[in-house]
A and B are shown apart, each in its own frame.
Chain A
Amino acid sequence: MKALSILLPVLMGFLVAFRAYQPKWSVSQVLFMCVSAPAIGIAITSALFFTWSLILRPNLGHFWYLLIEISICAALFASIWVQGNHSKSIYQINQYIRGVFSSLKSQVNISGKDLKNILFSVALASVFTLFLINFLDDWYTLTVKAPHGDWDAWAIWNLRARFFYAGENWRDGFSSIILWSHPDYPLLLPAFIGRTWQLLGSRTTWVPALTGLYFQLLILAAIVTRVSDLRNRATGLIAGLFTLAILQESLLYRQYADIPLAGYILLANIWLYQFDTQKHKSIFTAVMAGLAMGAAIWTKNEGLAFLLAFLLVEVATRLWKEDTQAKTGSFWGRFLLGIAPFLFVWILLKITLAPPNDVLNTITPVSIFSKLVDPRRYSLILSGIFEYFLANWSLIIPLIPLLLVFRFLFGSKQTQQEKTAIRKMIMRLCLLAAIYFGIYLITPNPLQWHIETSMDRLFMHILPGGVFIIFSRVQKIQFDQTNEGNDT
């Protein structure tokens, strides 16, 4: 049972993601699918466990609960099998494994040709490896020092997970006695951690710690694999270096739901980009985008802001005829299929257990108006944004300006489809930032405190997408052009 509690979410995610797989995919695309699959499995099992707890109890019938998860996996497997794709699927897996080996082999062949490229490749790979080791070492040190995570981790996310573990009295977690712990927040992280604790029979701190680490590495791996696929490996690794520098800062708020949220926003953006740039639309990509978007909503209320931004961009591009390949009814049907389960549990939480949101519950039209016309609030928010814009993150010079210089020096031409897809992603992230700006404007909390305690995390929701945008618009990085085409 203990092994199944870990394996089933991973397996479920793989079986769902496998439906999106296409034979023409490159190794990097398959690797992207592999790293993102567990995130989908975590989201589905979290929603399932919450529903189970609501109908019965978190500590009731672990065997029967596991049977449901196993049945879902079996149904997903059967659906792949029954569709007659099993021989094709086995062939595809075989091809994929061959692809990995031939790719590694070609990598070895590349290196022998040019001294400059060898030196650059070795230097880049070494710096990336050292940076990654440095990140993992810091994560381990901080996790041992503070195994319960940082402030919000024990005050909100792990606290709610402990209620799921407590079993009998789990609904007390939404008591008005602990309103300070935001009982209205969605439950992807607490329900998943509570589920795993229940099935393991132990409240080990390694469950939230490793879940948090997985989502940090997911963001890194998603960017490296997708940029490697769109450009080349060297470009992917440089994008990875920037991502690692950003993620290093996220070690200050380990085990928060902001990292999973940033991961799901990135996944949804990548799946939407993939859908928008595909010549032959794979409709299952729409399901994956819907699943990632739904998981974002089930992780934090900010996920709803991202959904709103997505819908507004789709409407706007259709009205302005910006998108020449506007999404069809079949896209929306599949997208809804992905997002619906999470919207369902989110609504279920709001109508059954969650008290009203503290920000929305305390604002009035008069207070909103008075805050909207106060120029000091704009100045305070803008200075906060400016501060983070010029922040070093974990580099020795400011990171975002460095990214922009990189884009300026290595910019390249794109196809019309790529341009449209990237423009839409930029609009989505800008709209999300605008919504956050609006929330700061009207927040009933002391503004300075609100900015100081949350702006770094809001940047974290957006920055991974920003890195992806920058690197999907640069040329292939090849130190010596005479060997261009080998390192692809």
Chain B
Amino acid sequence: MKLIQQLFLIILLILFALSIETPFGSNGEPYFHPVTTEPDHQFNCLASSIPPNEIVLFTTETDGAIDWSTSTEMLTRTQYHLVPILIAAHIKPGFDIEKYRWVVTASMTLEEIEAFSKRNNLQIVQYCPGMAILTKVIAE
């Protein structure tokens, strides 16, 4: 093997070695640190753990009505995984808010959500900007 090829191989290895992330970042913080799920993913994890048969109602209005023409535009990334359940709720005949244990709200401020939860006897389980998951308060 020619000298130039050997030199190139050595440089190549050094280049790859330098491209590996070190245990310490550029600011000196240790690389290995406890990993936590991001807030919107925590929201996703909780929402996706709701069994499909405990149907979720998606609402953009405080009275619980679904307006799909606007709600699809307002879908945030945190809501995508709920779509199968939301559509099931939407197309089901005889739709009745009383039947649903879980409620998901979108495009409401925290104050509006709190007012909505009090009015409908719901408890806020998870909240992230733009949306919240609420569940029915069941008397002990």
What is the chain A residue whose CB lies nearest that of B68?
A177
**B9-45 interface mask toward A, CB cutoff 8 Å, 1 = contact, 0 = none?**
1001101111111000000000000011110010011
Q: Is the CB of B84 within 8 A of A148?
A: no
Size category of the A interface is: 35 or more
Please pick, from A123, A130, A154, A203, the residue contacting B20 in the complex, using a CB distance under 8 A.
A130
Give the segment of B87-95, B108-116, B118-126, B130-138 that binds chain A.
B87-95
Q: Are B72 and A131 within 8 A (Cβ)?
A: no
Interface of chain A residues 113 through 149 with chain B (CB within 8 A)? 120, 123-124, 127, 130-131, 134, 138, 140-141, 144-148
- Known interface pairs A145-B36, A146-B37; A127-B17 also in contact (CB < 8 Å): yes
Q: Is B6 an interface residue (CB 8 A)?
A: yes
Specify which chain A residues have a CB less than 8 angstroms from the CB of B1 in the assembled complex.
Answer: 478-481
Q: Which residues of B contact A359 (CB under 8 A)?
A: none
Give the nearest-CB partner of A169 in chain B: B88
Q: Does A410 contact B (CB under 8 A)?
A: yes
A169 to B36, alpha carbons, bound, how many Å? 34
B70 part of interface (Cβ distance < 8 Å):
no
**CA–CA, A406 and B5, complex, Å:** 9
* Contact A148:B81 (CB < 8 A) given known A131-B16, A154-B44: yes
Is A366 engaged at the interface, CB distance under 8 Å to the other chain?
no
* A124-B13, A159-B83, A396-B15 known; A145-B37 Cβ under 8 A: yes
Q: How near does chain B come to A211, taking the closest CB pair, in angstroms? A: 17
Q: Does A386 contact B (CB under 8 A)?
A: no
Q: Is the CB of B91 within 8 A of A172?
A: yes
The binding surface of chain B is classed by DSSP as: helix
Supposing A158-B81, A480-B1 touch, asked if A178 and B72 sit within 8 A by C-beta, the answer is yes
Decide: A205 and B91 in contact? CB cutoff 8 A: no
Inside 8 A of B84's CB, which chain A residues have their CB?
Answer: 159, 162-163, 165-166, 169, 172-173
Q: Give residues of chain A (452-488) contacting chain B, Cβ–Cβ below 8 Å.
A: 477-481
- List A contacts of B9 (CB < 8 A): 120, 477, 479
> Is residue A397 within 8 Å, beta carbon to beta carbon, of the partner chain?
yes
Q: Are B37 and A147 in contact (CB under 8 A)?
A: yes
Contact B80 A395 (CB under 8 A): no
Distance A173 CA – B85 CA, assembled complex (angstroms)? 10
A146-B48 Cα distance, complex, nearest whole Å: 13
Give the Cβ gap from A482 to chain B, nearest Cβ, in Å: 10
Are B6 and A479 in touch, CB under 8 angstroms?
A: yes
Chain B min CB distance to A254 (Å):
12
Q: Are A177 and B41 in contact (CB under 8 A)?
A: no
1/0 per residue, CB under 8 A from B, across A70-103: the answer is: 0000000000000000000000000000000000
Interface contact B12-A166, CB-CB below 8 Å: no
| Bound Cα distance A181, B72 (Å) | 11
Query: Which residues of the other chain, A, contact B5 by a CB distance below 8 angstroms?
Result: 409-410
Residue numbers in A under 8 Å from B45 (CB-CB): 147-148, 205
A127 touches B16 (CB 8 A): yes
Are A172 and B15 in contact, CB atoms less than 8 angstroms apart? Answer: no
B8 proximity list for chain A (CB < 8 A):
405-406, 409
Given the complex, which residues of B lie within 8 Å of A22, measured CB to CB? none
Residues in B neighbouring A120, C-beta threshold 8 A: 9
Q: Is A155's CB within 8 Å of the partner chain B?
A: yes
Question: Can you report 29 residue pairs joining A to B where beta carbons are below 8 Å apart?
Answer: A123-B13, A127-B13, A127-B17, A131-B20, A134-B20, A144-B37, A146-B41, A147-B44, A148-B48, A154-B44, A154-B80, A154-B81, A155-B80, A162-B48, A163-B84, A167-B52, A169-B91, A172-B84, A172-B91, A177-B72, A178-B72, A178-B87, A181-B83, A203-B49, A397-B15, A402-B12, A406-B12, A410-B5, A478-B1
